[in-house]
Structure 1
Amino acid sequence: MTQPHEHDLGLVHDLGTLRRRNVLRLIAGAGLATLAGCADATDTAGTPNSSATIPNNSATTSGTPTTSPSSASTPSSTAASCAEEIPEETAGPYPGDGSNGPNVLTESGIVRSDLTKSFGSASGVAKGVPLTVQLVVQDSAKCTPLAGAAVYVWHCDAEGRYSMYDDEIGDENYLRGVQAADAQGKVTFTTIFPAAYQGRWPHIHFEVYASLSEATAAGKISATSQLALPEETCKTVYATSGYDGSTQNLAQTSLQRDMVFGDDGGVRQLATVTGSVQDGYTARLTVGV
Structure 2
Amino acid sequence: MAENDTARTSRRALLLAAGSAGAALLASACAGPAGTRGAAGQPSASASAPRPTGGASSPSCVLTTEAGAGPYYLDLDRVRSDITEDRDGVPFRLDLTVVRVSAGCRPLRAATVDVWQADASGTYSTGGATFLRGTQVTDAAGRCVFRTIVPGWYAGLAPHIHFKVRPDTRTETTSQFFFPEDLLREVYARRPYARRAAPRHPNGRDSRYNSSGAAMTLAPAPDGSGYRAAYTVGIA
TM-score of the two chains, using structure 2 as the length reference: 0.73
Alignment of 1:14-53 (within 5 A): 51-53=31-33
Give the one of 153, 170, 189 matched to 2:146. Answer: 189
Alignment gaps of 5+ in structure 2? 1-28, 42-52
- Is the alpha carbon distance of 1:236 and 1:56 closer, same or farther for their aligned partners in structure 2, counting shifts above 3 Å? closer
Is contact 1:128–1:192 with CA below 8 Å preserved after alignment? Answer: yes
- Alpha-carbon distance in structure 2 between the residues aligned to 1:50 and 1:235: 30
Q: Does 1:263 align with 2:211?
A: yes
What letter matches 2:199 in structure 1?
N
% same residue: 35
Which residue in the other structure is 2:87 paired with? Answer: 126
Alignment of 1:6-155 (within 5 A): 51-53=31-33, 57-59=37-39, 75=55, 77=57, 79=58, 82-97=60-75, 104-105=76-77, 110-117=78-85, 125-141=86-102, 142-155=104-117
- Alpha-carbon distance in structure 1 between the residues aligned to 2:32 and 2:171: 26
Is contact 2:162–2:175 with CA below 8 Å preserved after alignment? Answer: yes
The 4+ residue runs of structure 1 with deviation greater than 6 A are none
The Cα offsets for residues 200-258 of structure 1, whole Å up to 9 and x where unpaired, read as 111000000115xx4xxxxx44100001111121111101011147663352541xx52
What letter matches 2:228 in structure 1?
T
Is contact 2:94–2:146 with CA below 8 Å preserved after alignment? Answer: yes
TM-score of the two chains, using structure 1 as the length reference: 0.60
Alignment gaps of 5+ in structure 1? 1-48, 62-72, 98-103, 118-124, 165-169, 215-219
Which residue in the other structure is 1:281 paired with? Answer: 227
- Alpha-carbon distance in structure 2 between the residues aligned to 1:138 and 1:55: 18
Give the one of 192, 200, 204 matched to 2:161. Answer: 204
- Alpha-carbon distance in structure 1 between the residues aligned to 2:201 and 2:148: 24
- Alpha-carbon distance in structure 1 between the residues aligned to 2:100 and 2:36: 13
3-state SS in 2 of match to 1:236: helix
More strand by share: 2
